[in-house]
Amino acid sequence: MRIAFLEPYDGGSHRSFREGLTAHSRHEIRSWTLPPRFWKWRMRGAAPWFADRLREEAPDCDLLLATDFLNAADLRGLLPRPLDRAPLLLYMHENQLTYPLSPDEAFDFHFGFTNIVSCLAADRVVFNSEYHRTLFLDALPDYLARMPEAVPKGIRERLAARSGVLPVGIAGPPHPAEAFAPYLGGRCDAGLGPGWPRDRGGHVILWNHRWEFDKRPEMFASALLRLAERGRDFRLLLLGEPRQQESVFAPLRDRLGGRILAWGEQGRARYRELLAQADIVVSCAAQEYFGISVAEAVHAGCYPVLPRDQAYPSLYGARCRGRHLYDDEEGLVTLLDALLTGDACGHVCSLPLDADAFCWERLAPRFDDLFEEMLGR
């Protein structure tokens, strides 16, 4: 099968998803991409650029795969026959109906509506988590109610019928079943799982997300400074894409600089090495529809500390009774304090095995089956 992958914003989890699927699919996937900048212009103007590329370079592809920064309706309207009849799968990494606004932005109805009409134009829509799918579908009635008249009917039901869920894949082979024991409660038994902490130098806390507003790095920095004031012993890995937001972690660098083991973006090999050194991965996200950075860390054996109001409760913990979720900054500090002082929340759990479902070796065949189903093969 010849699949054209169209990615208007080829960076971060979008790029990781495209590269992983392309490398592991049993079908021929050819990519057309644009750099990860000017996201608003991508949503408004990427469709004609991709339509021209496909008309000239892939007139006979069997299936189109696009992500949420592309206006799929515009694309289909601009493609010549028979290319405009090719099945189109839309993958939703995020959506503009429920994504939080940055402090510098004003609400723009256009971008959320672009997501809606793209979903209507696609033959199938796939979300990266059931949490994301439900959030999007539930937001549709109120969002469409902003229209003054001629409101289309039955949109939620129509999109629910054509949508499904497949997570973002992560690199690395799956774990053997016996690699991690289930959490048994109480204090950890050193013979049940990986050492705690992994290094005798003390616990290593990991941040491996973008350093932007929707990940709330300022909450993370505030919580760690409070723990340091209590005299807690820990070291830090401050990884991820700074995106010119280095100042958010300036308080940590100024006051805890000697504890910081790594800073900023890393090469893939070095990044994997650092994940294997960390004990605890923390997310403070105000928006997380899946969380590939957390999935990578959990699969590497990190104990996750996660906000309860995001996708995480639906992704982790079905077989684990450990304490992983918090509600606010006070809850974050309390949970981290318990972990750092060896209280009974424990580190030995089955979450790395839960994250195995996200490994491309397990996930790519599910995408391939969907591709074939869409073509009736």
Per-residue pLDDT tens over the stretch 198-224: 776 789 999 999 999 999 999 999 999
pLDDT band at 245 (very low <50, low <70, confident <90, very high): confident
pLDDT for 349 equals 60
Q: Is the pTM of this model over 0.85?
A: yes
- Distance CA(186)–CA(345), nearest Å, equals 7
Q: Considering the chain, what is the average pLDDT of its residues? A: 89
pLDDT of the residue at 186:
45
Share of the chain above pLDDT 90, in %: 71
Q: Say if residue 280's pLDDT is above 50.
A: yes
- What pLDDT is stored for residue 188 in this prediction? 47
> Is the pLDDT confidence value at 324 over 90?
no
pLDDT for position 366: 97
pLDDT at res. 345: 57
User: Which three-class secondary structure state does DSSP give residue 245?
Assistant: coil
Find the helix or strand (DSSP H, E) in which 303 lies.
Answer: strand 303-307
Burial of residue 291 (CB within 10 Å: 0-12, 13-18, 19+) is: buried
For residues 269 and 100, which has the higher predicted lDDT (pLDDT)? 269
Q: What is the mean pLDDT of residues 84-112?
A: 89
Rounded distance between C-alpha atoms, residue 246 and residue 240, angstroms: 11
Distances (CA, A) of 1 to 4, 64, 354, 374: 10, 11, 31, 11
> pLDDT, tens digit, for every residue of 109-145?
899 999 999 999 999 999 999 999 999 999 999 999 9
CA distances from 34 to 14, 49, 53, 69 (A): 11, 10, 12, 11
**Cα gap 69→62, rounded to integer Å:** 22
Q: Is the model's pLDDT at 233 over the cut of 50?
A: yes
Decide if pLDDT at 347 tops 70: no
pLDDT exceeds cutoff 80 at 335: yes
Give the Cα-Cα-Cα angle 375, 376, 377 (nearest 5 degrees). Answer: 95
